[in-house]
Amino acid sequence: MVYALAFTEEPVKPTFVVDITAQMDRKIEALAAYGTQFRGKSGIGEVFPGGDRPVLEQIRHVHATYGSLVRRAYAEPYWTDETFMAETLGGLPVATF
């Protein structure tokens, strides 16, 4: 089972992230289509509790934070408690410096 972490305040480090740089603008546009839920809002429950920045801007910044973990502009975080297999260690896209 894979859990999406982008909209949770739980302090869980993602197991992996997916680069969504190419889709980020489209994601924001899709969320903006739900104007009555997002337009003019600066808080949504515990995940985005408030502040002065609009919710869609906060969402963009959250994904930028996760993107910075893998040197990408934006990323979607996920976590899994299951073990998965890799054919080789060299095949994993991780930094080894």
Domain ranges of the chain: 2-91
**C-alpha span between 27 and 18 (Å, rounded):** 14
In this predicted structure, what is the pLDDT of residue 11? 67
Structure tokens at 82: 């299951």
pLDDT, tens digit (0-9, with 9 covering 90-100), for 39-76: 777 666 555 555 677 888 888 988 999 999 889 999 99
Computed over every residue of the chain, the mean pLDDT equals: 80
Cα angle value 2/42/75 (rounded, 5°): 30
Percentage, residues of the chain above pLDDT 70: 75
Question: Is 92's pLDDT higher than 60?
Answer: yes
DSSP 48: B
Q: pTM of the predicted model, to two decimals?
A: 0.73
2-91 is a CATH 3.40.50.10320 domain: yes
The CA distances from residue 3 to 47, 53, 83, in Å, are: 16, 27, 14
In this predicted structure, what is the pLDDT of residue 36? 80
